[in-house]
Amino acid sequence: MRQSRTLIPTLREIPADAEIKSHQLLLKAGFIRQNSSGVYSYMPLGRKVLQKIEAIVREEMDKAGAVEMLMPALQQAELWQESGRWYTYGPELMRLKDRNQREFALGATHEEVITSLVRDEVKSYKRLPLTLYQIQTKFRDEKRPRFGLLRGREFVMKDAYSFHSNTESLDEVYQALFEAYSNVFRRCQLNFRAVIADSGAMGGKDTHEFMVLSDIGEDTIAYSDTSDYAANIEMAPVIMEYTKRDEADKELEKVLTENKKSIDEVSEFLTVSPNQCVKSLLFKIDEQYVLVLVRGDHEVNDIKLKNLFNAGIVELASQEETKEILSCPVGSLGPIGVSHVEIVADHAVKAIVNGVCGANEENYHYINVVPERDFSVSQYADLRFIQEGDPSPDGQGTILFAKGIEVGHVFKLGTRYSEAMNATYLDETGKSRPMIMGCYGIGVSRTLTAVAEQYNDENGLVWPANLAPYQVHVIAVNMKDEEQVKLAESIYTDLLEKHYEVLFDDRNERAGVKFADSDLIGLPLRITVGKKASEGMVEVKVRKTGETFEVHYEDLFAKVTSLLYTL
Ligand code: 9G3
């Protein structure tokens, strides 16, 4: 491709509103351009990388036995009303009306569409298992689009759906796609982990997320320092056994704690450690108020709370609600004497002896609190976030944290959609049964960003050779020098004939601009045709290492081939 013929609008300055490296560089190097908040154009170079990632995804999905198709982005509301999600999703689901005022959603995902399609076309167990996938644009009206393609309102997803007559078959396909995903992210040269995840609103039980380790990742991974255990912190179970302190129960006492509200203020004032305190928080769980107790040095895990109550909505009660329900402000809340609100506690609370908790009276706390003597709870459960240093849930090693970018997510859905939408098949005995389903997503545009985030240096992007928009960047230093142009043109033509992917900088720009743009775009190899063109000598430079080689034109292709092979 001649640079004078394509569109690569590189920028000299870093765009102000781009916070992370990949977003800055993809804008600066002319790979993407923003149309509106969270909505982007893929410029020619960006499109080429996207295509390479899609090609890897297709190869691995096809190898795993999935069949590609393409579903509509325009989804009639009736399908979402059948599954019930028309009513449970809020403004994130983009909705519109057609000319006859009929309601549609722009596809955020395709469980409803694929289930209605398979429901109509598949009747017998003989046609199962069936795994269909597509690579398509998804629409989600994110409240705060950010980080460029990482959290956009329109993005490219590969989404697959599998249909089964039994759970063993689902397990097989889940495993096959789990391996396919590992192959995809390995081939994209990404440092990733498959982590145990929470199925959230999707129902079903098993689910894994594929996380690329990155400091700018929005998810936190809890992983073991000795085994391969890794889980999204949202669901990582705490297996700690808590032992009571060996101390006689003391008499309960109410003390004045003037203006001491937070655990730190109270524990310091009363000279006890936070792990001697009971932290009480009022939650609203599907409109029901619940007082949740955790140890002072722990945090309530709202996902675990949601799963415990099998709830749809879990949120912290406001100050006003707290005052109204417990007639006491946040900061002096406690379980003692509370009988009109359900109380649940994390396991760690039960082991507290002679502890501290709020007295449900402003500026007062209780000391010498003994759980089960001074208050009781409806149940003790694992309700806290796992912390660094906790024992790994698999019993091997201790937990460390890392930040991750979610690039893939695989779910065992069960019959959540097939029952809601009556997608049934006739089994061997002729009995009608709901199909068992799995669903599997890869964020293709998000994967592109994760690669850019992992592969860059102070001069720009440094694409892995198999993902770069082109393999070789040919630069003629001075387009007014006939010798240089002649040699550069023949190198360009010869490389194309040998089926290399070549970007030829034939612009009438100063050498400095050409080299800066070349470093920014980040193709794996650069061939510079400069002063020594008259002797047939050119310079080959490896972008990743900065290594340069003086090569005679005759030896050039062998050099390019051997270098590309190592990248
Ligand atoms: C919506 C909106 C946002 C959503 C969803 C639906 C996430 C939604 C979960 C999934 C599950 C799997 C198939 C590919 C793999 C992931 N955000 N999810 O269902 F209407 Cl606005 O998408 N879908």
Alpha carbon distance 47, 192 (integer Å): 23
* Six-digit token string for 117: 């399609």
Closest to 487 measured CA to CA, from 531, 526, 443, 424? 531
- The atom number, within ligand 1, closest to the CA of 80 reads 20
Name the closest-CA residue to atom 19, ligand 1: 109
Instruction: Output the CA 158–ligand 1 centroid distance in Å.
Output: 12
Name the closest-CA residue to atom 1, ligand 1: 108
User: Residue 9 class from Cβ within 10 Å (0-12 exposed, 13-18 middle, 19+ buried)?
Assistant: exposed
pLDDT of residue 51: 98
Instruction: Output the CA 159–ligand 1 centroid distance in Å.
Output: 10
Please report how the helices 482-497 and 556-566 are oriented relative to each other, as an axis angle in degrees rounded to 10.
60
Name the closest-CA residue to atom 17, ligand 1: 108
Q: What 3-state class would DSSP assign to 503? A: strand
b/e sequence 285-318, b meaning 16+ C-beta within 10 Å: beeebbbbbbbbbbebbbebbbbbbebeebeebe
Alpha carbon distance 539, 556 (integer Å): 9
Instruction: Output the CA 123–ligand 1 centroid distance in Å.
Output: 26
Name the closest-CA residue to atom 9, ligand 1: 202
pLDDT of residue 331: 86
Name the closest-CA residue to atom 10, ligand 1: 109
Torsion of CA 412, 417, 419, 424, to 10 degrees: -90
Name the closest-CA residue to atom 22, ligand 1: 109
Instruction: Output the CA 76–ligand 1 centroid distance in Å.
Output: 16
- The atom number, within ligand 1, closest to the CA of 159 reads 14
Instruction: Output the CA 93–ligand 1 centroid distance in Å.
Output: 10
End-to-end CA distance of the chain: 22
User: How distant, in Å, are the alpha carbons of 100, 167, 186, 285, 551 from that of 554?
Assistant: 68, 61, 36, 74, 8
Instruction: Output the CA 516–ligand 1 centroid distance in Å.
Output: 41
Instruction: Output the CA 328–ligand 1 centroid distance in Å.
Output: 40
User: How distant, in Å, are the alpha carbons of 19, 176, 452 from that of 22?
Assistant: 9, 31, 5
Instruction: Output the CA 109–ligand 1 centroid distance in Å.
Output: 5
Q: Which fold has domain 17-237+401-452?
A: BirA Bifunctional Protein; domain 2 (3.30.930)
Pocket (CB within 6 angstroms of ligand 1): 89, 92-93, 108-109, 140, 159, 202, 409, 439-441
Name the closest-CA residue to atom 3, ligand 1: 108
Q: What is the largest CA-CA distance in the chain?
A: 97
In 3-state terms the chain splits into helix, strand, coil percentages (rounded to 5) of: 30, 30, 40
Q: Which residues contact 510 (CB under 8 A, 6 or more apart)?
A: none
- The atom number, within ligand 1, closest to the CA of 92 reads 21
* Six-digit token string for 328: 């006491």
Name the closest-CA residue to atom 8, ligand 1: 109
- The atom number, within ligand 1, closest to the CA of 139 reads 21
Single-letter amino acid code for the residue at 359: A
Name the closest-CA residue to atom 16, ligand 1: 441
Q: Which residues pair with 137 in a beta bridge?
A: 156
Instruction: Output the CA 245–ligand 1 centroid distance in Å.
Output: 46
Instruction: Output the CA 100–ligand 1 centroid distance in Å.
Output: 28
Instruction: Output the CA 108–ligand 1 centroid distance in Å.
Output: 6
Alpha carbon distance 208, 232 (integer Å): 9
Alpha carbon distance 70, 58 (integer Å): 13
pTM, 2 dp: 0.91
User: Residue 415 class from Cβ within 10 Å (0-12 exposed, 13-18 middle, 19+ buried)?
Assistant: middle
pLDDT of residue 200: 67
Single-letter amino acid code for the residue at 449: T
Instruction: Output the CA 113–ligand 1 centroid distance in Å.
Output: 13
Intrachain domains 17-237+401-452 and 470-566 with the same fold: no
Name the closest-CA residue to atom 14, ligand 1: 441
- The atom number, within ligand 1, closest to the CA of 157 reads 14
Task: Tell me if the domain spanning 470-566 has CATH number 3.40.50.800.
Answer: yes
Instruction: Output the CA 208–ligand 1 centroid distance in Å.
Output: 14
Q: Which residues contact 129 (CB under 8 A, 6 or more apart)?
A: 162, 163, 164, 165, 169, 170, 172, 173
* Six-digit token string for 372: 């089960």
pLDDT of residue 199: 72
Domain ranges of the chain: 17-237+401-452, 253-381, 470-566
Q: Consecutive 10-residue runs of the chain (567 residues): their mean pLDDT?
A: 97 91 97 97 98 98 98 98 95 98 98 98 97 98 95 98 97 97 98 88 77 96 94 93 94 96 95 96 95 98 94 92 92 94 98 97 96 97 97 95 97 95 97 98 98 97 98 97 97 97 97 97 98 96 97 96 93
Instruction: Output the CA 110–ligand 1 centroid distance in Å.
Output: 8
* Six-digit token string for 73: 């982005």
* Six-digit token string for 122: 């598949």
**Pocket test residue of 80, 86, 88, 109 for ligand 1, highest count of atoms within 8 A of CB:** 109
Closest to 332 measured CA to CA, from 245, 269, 250, 249? 269
Name the closest-CA residue to atom 4, ligand 1: 108
Contact 113, 104 (CB under 8 A): no
253-381 has which CATH code?
3.90.960.10
Name the closest-CA residue to atom 11, ligand 1: 202
